């Protein structure tokens, strides 16, 4: 019993020390449901003005006849620029990478085939894997030492290839996820 008490006391002391440091943040992007995506982030301060963040998302949306469904991972390095504040609070710049793995599907009963001049029933499947990156600028606020608001905006670039399982590559509208774009968001979270 005495050993259990000592172990519990040590674990409690470690938890209190970690809670006082409050160098970790868990956030949810509240703008991502607008584009039928759910995204979460975990940020860990690694020094007074630097942090690392890992973002995960799952998405399912449609562009024209193409249905997209899959996930992505976004590792990010943040350099905080605000004087008088320590990471994870203040203005920051953040280079990031993004890896996406998506399944594409076209299920159209009235696909027009230009070669034959007829409408056909089409069921086509493919996968799209992209690699990209970009640079964000942002500002993160901490309220009451616990609640976090993070706003960010910046350019991004993605490149990838479509691997067709059935159908033809020109049937899939994958251009929406390739090339230059904008990454933006507003995240709310908890600091611990």
Instruction: Give the residue with greater pLDDT, 142 vs 66.
Output: 142
pLDDT at 111: 65
Pair 51, 94: CB distance under 8 Å: no
Lowest-confidence segment of 36-45, 76-85, 108-117, 142-151 by average pLDDT: 108-117
The CATH classification of domain 25-191, taken from the options 1.10.10, 3.40.30, 3.40.1350, 2.40.160? 2.40.160
Cβ atoms of residues 152 and 138 within 8 Å? yes
Considering the entire predicted model, what is its pTM?
Answer: 0.80
Q: How far apart are CA 22 and CA 20, in angstroms?
A: 5
Closest CA to 126 of 173, 168, 163: 163
Tell me the percentage of the chain whose pLDDT exceeds 90.
64
pLDDT in tens, 44-78: 999 999 999 999 999 998 888 788 999 999 999 99
pLDDT digits (tens, 9 = 90+) for 165-185: 988 887 787 777 789 999 999
Q: What is the CA radius of gyration of the chain?
A: 22
Torsion angle, alpha carbons of 114, 118, 120, 122, to 10: 0
Angle at 23 between CA 18 and CA 24, to 5 degrees: 95
Confidence of residue 15 (pLDDT cuts 50, 70, 90): very low
**Rounded Cα distance, 97 and 158, in Å:** 9
Return d(Cα 47, Cα 180) in angstroms, integer. Answer: 32
DSSP result, 102-136: EEEEEEEEEEEETTTTEEEEEEEEEEEEEEEEEEE
């Amino acid at each position: 019993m005495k050993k259990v008490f000592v172990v519990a006391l040590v674990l409690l002391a470690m938890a209190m020390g970690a809670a006082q440091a409050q160098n970790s943040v868990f956030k949810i992007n509240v703008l991502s449901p607008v584009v039928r995506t759910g995204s979460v982030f975990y940020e860990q301060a690694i020094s007074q003005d630097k942090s690392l963040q890992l973002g995960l998302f799952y998405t399912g949306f449609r562009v024209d006849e193409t249905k997209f469904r899959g996930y992505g991972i976004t590792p990010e390095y943040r350099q905080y620029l605000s004087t008088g504040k320590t990471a994870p609070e203040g203005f920051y710049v953040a280079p990031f990478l993004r890896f996406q793995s998506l399944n594409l599907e076209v299920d159209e009963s009235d696909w027009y085939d230009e070669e034959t001049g007829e409408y056909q029933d089409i069921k086509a499947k493919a996968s799209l894997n992209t690699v990209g990156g970009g640079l964000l600028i942002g500002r993160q606020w901490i309220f009451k030492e616990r609640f976090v608001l993070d706003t960010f905006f910046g350019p991004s670039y993605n490149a990838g290839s479509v691997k067709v399982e059935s159908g033809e590559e020109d049937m899939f509208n994958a251009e929406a996820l390739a090339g230059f774009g904008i990454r933006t968001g507003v995240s709310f979270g908890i600091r611990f």
